Every structure is written in structure tokens, then in C-alpha cells.
């Protein structure tokens, strides 16, 4: 029995108070709908259909490479109406699984339990026990635990309001039976909408078995406003940090780290507060990451220290390196072992071999730097002639003095020394001192200007 997933995402999300369609708001760096589609994909469904409405073009653009069938709901006439549109043409023998684009934290394992119930011919409703169930529909059960109905908050008696088990709105059902019930929905309610939730009472009346599947309270958090978006961020953070700490990572403050992607750590990694990881980041053993750094798509070797305020936008860092404080690695950088990048150093599309140091206030772009090289403070690789980029090659054991401009394309030969303040426009031979002389002049008797 295959599963067809129907994701309801036509809502505008007025309470977000934003021009961005609700399901495109980022949670841990990815749109809400992206989380739902990821989870759906883990169920290996026959097909995923997304009901869209508001800001539809932007939503479809954002997921252009994801294999989903888009179903347009021009007018929002309720969750029941949205499911009716989405069900058109779905095989009657499939299980239809209804998800919400704004309920991003539900886990695949929970949905598998829901689908398993539907495979047995039941209408399976996802429920949760909430400390504060106000506003949600309550699940009514018989003494033996069978679900009899869902009563909406506003229609509930005082005793019913005390029930903490709520309807999450997510459900699974054999598609043929769901379609038949949906066809019978009426919009004779306060909002003049077709409520999907009405199928539960219908199924009970029809004698169809209704199964409740419980989710953890933090899985079913729906995002309607920015406060709930932030809360969902906290839930996700706790899931990630629990995993990291269980694997032995020291998080100095687990509430103050953001992992927008995957972070894989070796033994005895220490991460100070307020670090942002993006994309796929791998840290070797004994890596230390200090506060206020942003690290994306990087591999960092064992024993390396990333000091405070570094920006790593992609790259490979070897073992025993020391980066920052205040260093920036742009994409395409490869550092071998024991390399040092100091403060206010920017490196782009370059490789630096082992034991080399670029310690202060320097720009290295489109360069190949050998072993045991020392680049003095304020050195600039002038890689751009206004039209094209050119490479700088610095061979092993080179010493470059402070405030040097290396006008590419240029090669500094092995063991060469470049004097401070030089502007190097031609290749510098190996083993020699190359300077570009500017004569020092003293003007005797010169007076500073005075203010009139």
C-alpha cells in the first residue's frame, strides 16, 4: 500500500505580519515547508502534493528542484476543501497522509505509526497531550479508549475543556474512503469553511474505526506567529544539541548555538556560545570553536582552534591550525596542517601549505602558498586587474615583509625574501632578497601647517 502525502500550505499566515508567504519563513535556516517536505520524503511516498495559494509563485520557485505536484487552491475554503482538491486523482488504494506546511517538527517515525494505522483501514488521527490545550479541538474517548469525537474548544463543556489530549489536524486514511467522506462535508459553520476535522465524527457515525496516534507535544507545534517560530527554533536546537552532547561534544551553553544543517564532531570538541554552523560542517577531535564565529560547509582538522569572530564560508582546514580572531575564509580555501591565519586576514580561492603563517591584516586571493612561508602584515595579493583574476604563487620558505603588494600574475621563488613596502610586479627569483626601493628623504626645516 503506497502513501500519497498531501501538504496543506495555502494559508497566508496573517499573524506572521510579513510579505513573505508563511511556509517560506526560515526555521533553522530552511523554509518551514522544507522541513515538512524532508520529513515526507523520508516516508518514501508514491507522491507528495502541496496545496498552495498565497504567494504561490514564490513558494514554487523556492522548491523548484523538489519533486512535488503543486495543487492550486485559489480561494481558501477550509482544510477540507484543500484536501478535496489535493485528493483528485489519488489512487483509492493508497493511504492519504495529510500534513500541514506550518507544522514543521513532526518526526518521520511518528508519521510511520500514523500511516501504519491507516493501512489497517482506519482513520488515524494524530493527537498530543498539551499542558495548555486552549484553542484546540479535544479528543473524546470512551472508557475503553476508543475515539468517539472531536469537540472544538468553543463548543466544549467545562469538563471537556479539561481534556488535555488535542487534535493536531494531521491524519492518515485510505484515500478512497477519505475522498468519500470529504465529498459529504458541509460548510454550515461559523467560518463558512469545509473543516477536515468533521470527517472524524463522520467516520465514527459510519462505524469506521478511528485510531488515535500520540505525538510528543513539541512535535505538533503549529507556526502561526513569530513567537511560535522562535519556539520551534528552540525545539529544533534542543534536538540537535542533545545529539551533540550525547556524542561527547562540550557545548558551553547549549541554548546559544545554531546549527542550520549538519554538524559532525569528533572527540573532545568544545564549542563556545553563539556560534552559527551552516550547511555541512565536520570538526575533527579536540577542535575548539570560540564565540561569535560563523562556519559553513567546512571541514576542520583535529586540534584546530577557531578564535572568536571568524567567518568561514566554505573550505578545508587541516590539523593544528589557528584561525582568527577576526579572520575570513571565503570559498575555495584549503589550509594544510599547522597553518596560522591571524586577525583581519581574508583568504579566497587559495591554498596554504603546512607551517605557513599569515598573521595580520592581509588579503590572499587566488594564491598558492607553499610550506614554511611567512606573510608579513598588510600584504595584498593584487589579483584583479579590473577585468580578469590572476594567480600569485609563493613557493616554500618565502618571507614576505610587511605592506607588500604582489601584483598577479607573479611567482615568488623558493626561499626568496621580499622587503617591506615592496610592490612586486615581476617574478622574484628564489633565494634572493627583492625590494622595490623608494628613497627615504628628510626635508630639513619643514614646518607643520598651523590653523588660521
Q: Which of 40, 140, 172, 196 binds ligand UD1 (CB under 6 A)?
A: 196
- In the region spanning residues 346 to 365, those forming contacts with Ca ion, defined by CB under 5 A, are none
Catalytic entry in 309, 360, 390, 399: 360
Judged by beta carbon distances under 5 to 8 A according to partner kind, the member of ligand UD1, Ca ion, none in contact with residue 168 is ligand UD1
Nearer to ligand UD1 (CB atom), residue 136 or residue 326: 136
CA–CA distance, 15 with 246 (Å, rounded to integer): 37
Judged by beta carbon distances under 5 to 8 A according to partner kind, the member of Ca ion, ligand UD1, none in contact with residue 82 is ligand UD1
Q: In the complex, what is the shortest distance from the CB of residue 11 to Ca ion, in angstroms, rounded to a whole number?
A: 7
Judged by beta carbon distances under 5 to 8 A according to partner kind, the member of Ca ion, ligand UD1, none in contact with residue 81 is ligand UD1
Is 51 one of the binding residues for ligand UD1 (CB under 6 A)?
A: yes
Binding mask 162-191 for ligand UD1 (x = CB under 6 A): -----xxx----------------------
Cell of 155: 463548543
Q: Which of 107, 160, 187, 197 binds ligand UD1 (CB under 6 A)?
A: 197
Nearer to ligand UD1 (CB atom), residue 85 or residue 400: 85
Size of the residue set binding ligand UD1 (CB under 6 A): 24
Is 11 one of the binding residues for ligand UD1 (CB under 6 A)?
A: yes
- The stretch among 37-45, 96-104, 175-183, 329-337 that binds ligand UD1 (CB under 6 A) is 96-104
Which residues are registered as beta bridge partners of 15? none
Judged by beta carbon distances under 5 to 8 A according to partner kind, the member of Ca ion, ligand UD1, none in contact with residue 86 is none
Q: Which of 82, 210, 281, 408 binds ligand UD1 (CB under 6 A)?
A: 82
SS3 sequence of the chain? CCEEEEEEECCCCHHHCCCCCHHHCEECCEEHHHHHHHHHHCCCCCEEEEEEECEHHHHHHHCCCCCCEEEECCCCCCHHHHHHHHHCCCCCCCEEEEEECCCCCCCHHHHHHHHHHHHCCCEEEEEEECCCCCCCCEEEECCCCCEEEEECHHHCCHHHHCCCEEEEEEEEEEHHHHHHHHHCCCCCCCCCCCCCCHHHHHHHHHCCCEEEEEECHHHCCCCCCHHHHHHHHHHHHHHHHHHHHHCCCEECCCCCEEEEEEEEECCCCEECCCEEEEEEEEECCCCEECCCCEEECEEECCCCEECCCCEECCEEECCCCEECCCEEECCCEEECCCCEEEEEEEEECCEECCCCEEEEEEEEECEEECCCCEECCCCEEECECCCCECCEEECCCCEECCCCEEECCEEECCCCEECCCCEECCCECCCCEECCCCCCCCCCCCCCCCCC
Q: In the complex, what is the shortest distance from the CB of residue 224 to Ca ion, in angstroms, rounded to a whole number?
A: 5
Q: Which residues contact 53 (CB under 8 A, 6 or more apart)?
A: 9, 10, 11, 12, 72, 73, 74, 75, 76
Nearer to Ca ion (CB atom), residue 10 or residue 341: 10
The DSSP symbol for 190 reads T
Nearer to Ca ion (CB atom), residue 220 or residue 375: 220
Q: Is 360 a catalytic residue?
A: yes
Is 54 one of the binding residues for Ca ion (CB under 5 A)?
A: no
Q: Which of 55, 71, 100, 301 binds ligand UD1 (CB under 6 A)?
A: 100
- The stretch among 98-106, 226-234, 303-311, 325-333 that binds ligand UD1 (CB under 6 A) is 98-106
Binding mask 25-44 for ligand UD1 (x = CB under 6 A): --------------------
Which residues are registered as beta bridge partners of 167? 127
Binding mask 202-241 for Ca ion (x = CB under 5 A): --------------------x-------------------
Cell of 218: 513539541
Q: Which residues contact 410 (CB under 8 A, 6 or more apart)?
A: 392, 393, 424, 425, 426, 427, 428
- In the region spanning residues 201 to 260, those forming contacts with ligand UD1, defined by CB under 6 A, are 222
- The stretch among 4-12, 31-39, 333-341, 436-444 that binds ligand UD1 (CB under 6 A) is 4-12
Is 10 one of the binding residues for ligand UD1 (CB under 6 A)?
A: yes
Judged by beta carbon distances under 5 to 8 A according to partner kind, the member of ligand UD1, Ca ion, none in contact with residue 167 is ligand UD1
Q: In the complex, which residues of this chain contact ligand UD1 (CB under 6 A)? A: 8-11, 51, 73, 76-79, 81-82, 100-102, 136-137, 167-169, 195-197, 222
Q: In the complex, which residues of this chain contact Ca ion (CB under 5 A)? A: 222
Residues identified as active-site: 360
Amino acid at each position: 500500500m503506497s502513501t500519497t502525502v498531501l501538504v496543506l500550505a495555502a494559508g497566508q499566515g496573517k499573524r506572521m505580519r510579513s510579505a513573505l508567504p508563511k511556509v517560506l519563513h526560515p526555521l533553522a535556516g530552511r523554509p518551514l515547508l522544507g522541513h515538512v517536505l524532508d520529513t515526507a520524503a523520508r516516508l518514501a511516498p508514491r507522491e507528495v502534493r502541496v496545496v498552495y495559494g498565497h504567494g504561490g509563485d514564490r513558494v514554487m520557485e523556492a522548491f523548484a528542484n523538489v519533486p512535488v505536484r503543486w495543487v492550486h487552491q485559489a480561494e481558501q475554503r477550509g482544510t477540507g476543501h484543500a484536501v478535496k482538491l489535493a485528493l483528485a486523482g489519488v489512487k483509492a488504494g493508497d493511504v492519504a497522509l495529510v500534513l500541514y506546511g506550518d507544522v514543521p517538527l513532526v518526526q518521520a517515525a511518528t508519521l510511520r505509526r500514523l500511516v501504519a494505522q491507516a493501512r489497517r483501514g482506519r482513520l488515524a488521527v494524530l493527537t498530543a497531550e498539551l499542558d495548555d490545550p486552549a484553542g484546540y479541538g479535544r479528543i473524546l474517548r470512551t472508557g475503553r479508549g476508543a475515539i468517539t469525537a472531536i469537540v472544538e474548544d468553543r463548543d466544549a463543556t467545562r469538563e471537556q475543556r479539561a481534556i488535555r489530549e488535542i487534535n493536531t489536524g494531521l491524519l492518515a486514511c485510505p484515500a478512497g474512503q477519505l475522498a468519500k467522506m470529504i465529498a459529504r462535508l458541509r460548510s454550515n459553520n461559523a467560518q463558512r469553511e469545509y473543516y477536515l476535522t468533521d470527517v472524524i465524527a463522520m467516520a465514527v457515525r459510519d462505524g469506521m474505526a478511528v485510531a488515535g496516534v500520540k505525538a510528543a507535544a513539541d512535535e505538533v507545534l503549529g507556526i502561526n506567529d513569530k513567537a511560535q517560530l522562535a519556539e520551534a527554533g528552540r525545539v529544533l536546537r534542543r534536538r540537535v544539541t542533545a545529539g551533540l552532547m550525547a556524542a561527547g561534544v562540550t557545548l558551553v551553553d547549549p541554548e546559544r548555538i545554531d546549527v542550520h544543517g549538519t554538524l559532525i564532531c569528533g572527540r573532545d570538541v568544545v564549542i563556545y556560545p553563539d556560534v552559527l554552523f551552516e550547511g555541512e560542517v565536520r570538526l575533527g577531535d579536540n577542535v575548539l570553536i570560540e564565540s561569535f564565529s560563523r562556519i559553513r560547509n567546512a571541514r576542520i582538522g583535529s586540534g584546530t582552534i577557531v578564535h572568536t569572530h571568524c567567518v568561514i564560508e566554505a573550505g578545508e582546514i587541516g590539523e593544528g591550525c589557528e584561525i582568527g580572531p577576526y579572520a575570513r575564509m571565503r570559498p575555495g580555501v584549503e589550509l594544510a596542517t599547522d597553518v596560522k591565519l591571524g586577525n583581519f586576514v581574508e583568504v579566497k580561492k587559495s591554498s596554504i601549505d603546512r607551517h605557513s603563517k599569515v598573521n595580520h591584516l592581509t588579503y590572499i586571493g587566488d594564491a598558492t602558498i607553499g610550506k614554511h612561508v611567512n606573510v608579513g602584515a598588510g600584504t595584498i595579493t593584487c589579483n584583479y586587474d579590473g577585468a580578469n583574476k590572476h594567480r600569485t604563487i609563493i613557493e616554500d620558505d618565502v618571507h614576505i615583509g610587511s605592506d607588500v603588494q604582489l601584483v598577479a600574475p607573479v611567482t615568488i621563488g623558493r626561499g626568496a625574501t621580499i622587503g617591506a613596502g615592496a610592490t612586486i610586479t615581476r617574478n622574484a627569483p628564489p633565494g634572493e632578497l627583492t625590494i622595490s626601493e623608494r628613497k627615504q628623504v628628510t626635508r630639513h626645516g619643514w614646518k607643520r601647517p598651523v590653523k588660521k
